[in-house]
Amino acid sequence: MTLKVSDIGEKELVKYIQANSRTITQDDTAITEFGSTNLISTTDMLIQSKHFPNNMSYYDMGFKAVTVNVSDLAAMGADTLGFLLAIALPKDLEVESFKQIIEGVLSACKYYQIPLIGGDTNEASEIIITGTALGLTDKPLMKNTYNTGDLIAITGNIGFSALGFEIETLNNVYTQKALKPKARIKEGIVLKDYASSATDITDGLASELYEIKRDGFGFMIYEELLNVSDEYKTLADKLNMDYLDLMLHVGEDFELLFTITKENLEKLPIDCRVIGEVTDSDVIELTLENGFVEKIKNKGYEHLC
């Protein structure tokens, strides 16, 4: 039997590339030393049928293509330097729709104060947008440089996009978060001077925790601290979905997940929510509201699976 890429999945493919390249880092982005600072570069490809919900506007597609890339800069504590846009369009796309995509891209560039500096246009059977974001930071914030006892925190609400993808009506906070996510670039720049590590939540909290885990370290997350509202639970229930599954295993919130010492948390000048702590248990666990402890599954969004 011939092995197909879908038999092994995205994570194994990435591992193969990393194992064969001595120059690629394991972090969210590339770090290139540059005098007294560091050039941060990152690229993310969005494909219409995979990354854009059916009810997403062309404007929001363009905005999101910038957000997903800027979010990687945010996770490194980098300030923005420039954005490159490679875009492929179907031949029969209306010019007006193309203009709306570009308006979304340019609005996002303005919002994040990252200049659009270059790009490429192409033809494909669906809309494909590859962004590249460049940034600078004197002190790159790595994703796995925490210590036992550090607190685990997030910048905003998680699970909102996950629920929003499932809801058909547009005027609610969940769908708005799913269709119009924002990267936490300002928070990232603050966090680099306070946090011990950070990453952005793309593929779900569970997936990111496994991504940042080092041997000998564990994480304990407390459901109580996740602060799941009754409304959230009710909506998930109506959709026949498990609310904890939505909270932990879907992602696309683009919030920052970071670790911080108790001392630094007191000084931190931005809003955040502590959701757990770094342990030496070597496992990733959740203390449920009822007091039971269960292992969090290593399950999140993965392409080619």
Binding site residues, its own copies, CB under 8 A: 2-8, 10, 13-14, 16-17, 20-21, 23-25, 29-30, 32, 34-35, 39, 41-45, 47, 50, 81-82, 84-96, 98-99, 102-103, 106, 109, 115-126, 128, 130, 132, 134, 303-304
Write down the least CB distance from residue 13 to its own copies, Å: 5
Write down the least CB distance from residue 73 to its own copies, Å: 12
Nearer to its own copies, 14 or 283 (CB): 14
User: Side-chain half-sphere of 49: how many Cα atoms within 13 Å?
Assistant: 6
Distance (Å, rounded) from C-alpha 135 to C-alpha 185?
11
Nearer to its own copies, 98 or 264 (CB): 98
Contact between 253 and 156 under an 8 Å Cβ cutoff? The reply is yes
Nearer to its own copies, 12 or 282 (CB): 12
Tokens linked to 202: 């793309």
Backbone torsion region of residue 252, taken as left when φ is above 0, otherwise alpha when ψ lies between -120 and 50, otherwise beta: left
Non-local CB neighbours of 42 within 8 Å, separated by 6+ positions: 28, 29, 30, 69, 72, 73, 132, 133
Non-local CB neighbours of 283 within 8 Å, separated by 6+ positions: 218, 295
Nearer to its own copies, 123 or 224 (CB): 123
Nearer to its own copies, 24 or 288 (CB): 24
Distance (Å, rounded) from C-alpha 187 to C-alpha 191?
6
Write down the least CB distance from residue 62 to its own copies, Å: 11
Write down the least CB distance from residue 138 to its own copies, Å: 14
Nearer to its own copies, 82 or 156 (CB): 82
Best CA proximity match to 145, nearest among 200, 214, 220, 191: 214
Write down the least CB distance from residue 161 to its own copies, Å: 19
Helix (H) or strand (E) holding 243: helix 243-249
Write down the least CB distance from residue 208 to its own copies, Å: 16
